[in-house]
Amino acid sequence: MRHSKRPAPLQMATEQRIAIAKKILLTPFGLTQSHLSRVLSEIRAHKVDDADLYFQTTRSEGWSLEEGIVKTGTFSIDQGVGVRAVSGEKTAFAYSDDISMPSLLDAARTVRSISTVAGNKSAKIAIKNIAKSRSLYAELDPIASLDSANKVKLLEKVEQLARAKDPRVKQVMASLASEHDVVLVARANGVLAADVRPLVRLSVMVIVEQTIKGELRRETGSAGGGGRFGMDYFDDALIADYVNQAVNSALTNLESRPAPAGVMTVVLGAGWPGILLHEAIGHGLEGDFNRKGSSAFSGKIGKRVAAKGVTVLDDGTLPDRRGSLNVDDEGNPTQRNVLIEDGILKGYIQDSMNARLMGVKPTGNGRRESYAHTPMPRMTNTYMLGGDKEPAEVIASIKKGLYASNFGGGQVDITSGKFVFSASEAYWVENGKIQYPVKGATLIGSGPECLKQVSMIGNDVKLDSGVGTCGKEGQSVPVGVGQPTLRIDGLTVGGTV
């Protein structure tokens, strides 16, 4: 796994992030910690279970190349504050892009009306505790880590390398995105937390063409990656690797045949195919669905929900990863959470509200898209641990079946885990040998049932390259996924023959 320069020691980095966030989010607006205490005290003038203030400023930049030229360049700044009060299962929320004391007080008086019960009006909330925090990435601004001219050159290099790779490459599209996100969280329990979150991503897509048996055939391939570091991550070797992956995938699909259909053995490749694990299983392990009893995993703590050897984690503490956070969006430190261990369900991922209602501790998974949204339990980096089989051994075990090495899009019923996923790169296998690439294969099934049908687990666990984005209830957040090579028995494949 590639990393940028490691951050400062933990306590120093934590205090540094608090100082940066105050300088950006409070000082320009004449605000101090005492102002935040007053606003929270206004909310607690009514009896509520929890309350917080979430300040945020986000600077984003994007560049895109198409038809040999950099066609677009965008830059945006968004900042504001979200004010929340929680009473029982109810949440009152207000937000504003005006960070000022009058706006904060107006929002506080609005959200506290969620409870009509008077609180202790003489109580003062003193924000004095700095939240325990991780130090997983540097407090840098990735937008400033490379000047505009060199960002354009980087995209042009992608174009040149792709076209030089094979004459069948007819179109190249590439995009480069960077984001500098600074957040400050003040809570009614007196805790203050902050984070400075860099994020970059490079995406490559190519279109290849070839006349086969008198017909023009066109296929696409894509690749890319990123994480929480600066633009120096994208060195020449990595750019060439992304280009090779995209071109090779597209050329492989030129040779593909129609995919067979039916119930069969399927082997999933390592890395990005973990998106199926994320969507069809991970969402079902989120605290809100289980508290409401709508998940297939509700009430099954301590029970077997998967085959032996299956261990699933959600870990927000991996350095530099796209899904990692020093603190979540409620100010809680992220954790390494074991969700399923050797097939036994161990726990769910939790934000503060659902944890309180379920009588457990938060797991550092309270996440929100921005200051204009409320937090909810969300995944960070979700992956399955490896087993003891060589990947080649797993593939060789297939008598007749499919090897899906990469995934495209899909649809999932979050609560039931039922899914339909398309394989963007897959191969037909007979007697343990790969025969030819196939096109049009879709995997159909249930996430909870798939876990029980895992019969072989590879020793090659791998995380994705840093491209994942998760959607839930209209909110999108960056995430990571991963898994080893897996054999699943009796999975339904929808094909074209």
Residue-wise pLDDT tens digits, 334-354: 999 999 999 999 999 999 999
Q: What confidence score (pLDDT) does residue 409 get? A: 75
Q: What confidence score (pLDDT) does residue 7 get? A: 44
Mean per-residue pLDDT, 119-142? 76
- Checking DSSP bridges between strand 376-377 and strand 215-227, what pairing results, if any? unpaired
Mean per-residue pLDDT, 319-329? 98
Mean per-residue pLDDT, 76-92? 97
**Residue 268 or 46, more confident:** 268
Dist CA 464 CA 488 (whole Å): 20
Give the rounded percent of residues in the chain with a pLDDT score beyond 90: 87
In 99-215, which ranges are continuous DSSP H helix? 101-111, 148-165
Dist CA 17 CA 137 (whole Å): 11
Confidence of residue 10 (pLDDT cuts 50, 70, 90): low
- Checking DSSP bridges between strand 191-212 and strand 129-130, what pairing results, if any? parallel
Q: What confidence score (pLDDT) does residue 5 get? A: 45
Q: What is the three-state SS of 140-157?
A: CCHHHHCCHHHHHHHHHH
The pTM score is 0.94
Q: What confidence score (pLDDT) does residue 414 get? A: 78
**Residue 123 or 316, more confident:** 316
Residue 244 φ/ψ, nearest 5 degrees: -60, -40
Give the rounded percent of residues in the chain with a pLDDT score beyond 70: 95
Reported as a single tens digit per residue, the pLDDT across 363-397 is 999 999 999 999 999 999 999 999 999 999 999 99
pLDDT over 80 at 162, yes or no = yes
- The overall average pLDDT reported for the chain is 93
pLDDT over 60 at 2, yes or no = no
Q: What confidence score (pLDDT) does residue 130 get? A: 79
3-state secondary structure of 163: helix
Q: What confidence score (pLDDT) does residue 118 get? A: 61
3-state secondary structure of 89: coil
pLDDT over 70 at 326, yes or no = yes
Mean per-residue pLDDT, 225-232? 97
pLDDT over 60 at 461, yes or no = yes
Other C-beta atoms lying within 10 Å of the C-beta of residue 25? 21
Q: What is the three-state SS of the chain?
A: CCCCCCCCCHHHHHHHHHHHHHHHHCHHHCCCHHHHHHHHHHHCCECCCEEEEEEEEEEEEEEEEECCEEEEEEEEEEEEEEEEEEECCEEEEEEECCCCHHHHHHHHHHHHHHCCCECCCCCCCCCCEECCCCCCCCCCCHHHHCCHHHHHHHHHHHHHHHHHHCCCEEEEEEEEEEEEEEEEEEECCCEEEEEEEEEEEEEEEEEEEEEECCEEEEEEEEEEEEECCCHHHCCHHHHHHHHHHHHHHHHHHHCCEECCCEEEEEEECCCCCHHHHHHHHHHHHEHHHHHCCCCCCCCCCCCECCCCCCCEEEECCCCCCCCCCCECCCCCECCEEEEEECCEECCCECCHHHHHHHCCCCCCCEECCCCCCCCEECCCEEEECCCCECHHHHHHCCCEEEEEEEEEEEEECCCCCEEEEEEEEEEEEECCEEEEEEECCEEEEEHHHHHHCEEEEECCCEECCCCCEEEECCEEEECEEEECCEEEEEEEEECCC
Q: What confidence score (pLDDT) does residue 438 get? A: 96
Q: Are 347 and 338 in contact (CB under 8 A)?
A: yes
Q: Nearest CA to 239 among 151, 144, 161, 321?
A: 161
Reported as a single tens digit per residue, the pLDDT across 86-107 is 999 999 999 999 999 999 999 9
pLDDT over 80 at 122, yes or no = no
Reported as a single tens digit per residue, the pLDDT across 402-414 is 999 999 878 888 7
Q: What is the CB-side half-sphere exposure of residue 198 using CA atoms within 13 A?
A: 24
Mean per-residue pLDDT, 5-16? 65
